[in-house]
């Protein structure tokens, strides 16, 4: 049995942020038109749409929509490029070794007739992303497996995802972001293959094969508290690193959280991510997957990207524990309505500390929502493991080294 709960109010001091609205009228949602029931259900969970496993196929579904002024979008795209250039000039790229860039594409076959892209031998298709397919390849040089995201530049350049942005803009931004970052809980970009004489564009990523394990507890589809805590700590560590480098992921969800053989969770798919200067994380464009969308995003207003990421973490944790989504309707509009107006429900026997954490993450008021720093210090997250280990990233280590060198020279 599930029941509505408000016992947290005494501790959190917050009422309306969880949908206990004291008979307030429902808030108006953004208008959503042109989506029939079947298409809406595909969008709700961000299900991959399968395509044929050949080199001319692509997934033409964009997982996001656009709102706001076109000039604003164009200016933001320009700002992103400028931010990257400035960081590169100032040595703020957080990688010890740069991403390999190849501007020559050689399509061939090995001695067994298997298709090859440069040094990489085709193995099998492993999925479809927002704008293209993901294929498993094996390097003929080091023997390792890599996940390669394949795109068609001509198609993406025609697929408009905002008034002044195309899907190709998103892919280019994804590459720039991943070229800047490196963290144990983030999928690593190895190489970019972009031949100006070819319509094909490839991102070579570390291959992370793994899925969530069920520890024998919870509802069907859930993984139980112990495993969920372990995974959440990795997610928070990776996302705190991103936010600390002024990057908003924009599409945190189970499909984008890969589990390595060691059990480490790595955040992947930066196709709708954004980068900002300072703490200016204001967005207007809709995020990636509707069922993980924060209430403030459903209202067609500007919203803070970091707080929206944190909400998505809450939805992900809820799903890990209960095996269901907290707010899921029959259509896209119905889902948005539930996200904005419905209250949370929990199993009667849920751990009070865990429920307190979920209530804080899924606070409908972003100004009252828990921050990632709050989450990292939460008693349920600490458990018997203590604080989440602090990661001293490359750019901070390099900055400390340069500062120490300067002090020694003086």
Residues within the annotated binding site for ATP? 149
Instruction: Write the DSSP string, 28-44.
Output: PPPP--S--HHHHHHHH
Catalytic annotation on 251? yes
Contact 254, 312 (CB under 8 A): no
Q: How many CA atoms lie within 13 A of 211 on its CB side?
A: 4
Alpha-carbon distance 108 to 392, whole Å?
Answer: 42
**Count of alpha carbons within 13 Å of 80, Cβ hemisphere only?**
25
Cα torsion through 334, 338, 339, 340, rounded to 10: 100
Contact 345, 3 (CB under 8 A): yes
Question: What's phi and psi for 215, nearest 5 deg?
Answer: -90, 15
* Residue with tokens 């003929």, as numbered in its chain: 140
User: How many Å apart are CA 115 and CA 334, to the nearest integer?
Assistant: 45
Q: Which of 170, 234, 251, 269 is catalytic?
A: 251
CA distances to 31, 198, 324 from 57, in Å: 32, 15, 33
Q: Known catalytic residues?
A: 251
């Amino acid at each position: 049995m599930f029941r509505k709960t408000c016992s947290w109010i005494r501790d959190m001091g917050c009422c309306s942020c969880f949908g206990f609205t004291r008979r307030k009228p429902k808030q108006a949602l953004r208008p959503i038109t042109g989506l029939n029931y079947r298409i809406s259900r595909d969008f709700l969970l961000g299900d991959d749409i399968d395509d044929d496993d050949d080199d001319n196929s692509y997934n033409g579904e964009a997982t996001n929509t656009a709102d706001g002024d076109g000039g604003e979008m164009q200016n933001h795209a320009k700002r992103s490029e400028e931010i990257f250039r400035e960081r590169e000039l100032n040595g703020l790229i957080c990688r010890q070794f740069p991403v390999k860039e190849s501007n020559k594409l050689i399509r061939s076959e090995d001695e067994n007739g298997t298709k090859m892209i440069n040094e990489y031998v085709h193995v099998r298709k492993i999925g479809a992303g927002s704008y293209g397919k993901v294929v498993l390849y094996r390097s003929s040089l080091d023997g390792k497996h890599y996940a390669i995201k394949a795109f068609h530049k001509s198609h993406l350049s025609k697929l408009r995802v905002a008034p002044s942005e195309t899907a190709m803009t998103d892919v280019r931004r994804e590459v720039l972001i991943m070229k800047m970052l490196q963290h144990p809980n983030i999928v690593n970009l190895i190489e970019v293959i972009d031949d100006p004489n070819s319509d094909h564009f490839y991102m070579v990523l570390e291959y992370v094969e793994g899925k969530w394990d069920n520890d024998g507890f919870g509802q069907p589809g859930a993984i139980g508290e112990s495993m969920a805590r372990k995974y959440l700590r990795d997610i928070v560590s990776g996302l705190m690193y991103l936010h600390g480098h002024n990057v908003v992921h924009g599409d945190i969800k189970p499909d984008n959280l890969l589990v390595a053989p060691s059990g480490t969770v790595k955040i992947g798919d930066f196709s709708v991510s954004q980068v900002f200067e300072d703490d200016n994380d204001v967005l207007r464009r809709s995020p990636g997957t509707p069922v993980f969308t924060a209430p403030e995003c459903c209202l067609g207003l500007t919203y803070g990207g970091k707080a929206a990421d944190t909400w998505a973490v809450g939805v992900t944790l809820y799903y890990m524990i209960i095996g269901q989504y907290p707010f899921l309707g029959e259509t896209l509009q119905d889902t948005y309505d539930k996200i904005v107006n419905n209250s949370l429900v929990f199993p009667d026997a849920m751990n009070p500390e865990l429920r307190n954490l979920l209530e804080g993450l899924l606070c409908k008021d972003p100004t009252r929502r828990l921050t990632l720093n709050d989450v990292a210090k939460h008693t349920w997250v600490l458990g018997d493991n203590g604080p989440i280990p602090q990661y001293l990233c490359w750019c901070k280590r390099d900055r400390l080294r340069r500062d120490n060198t300067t002090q020694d020279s003086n």
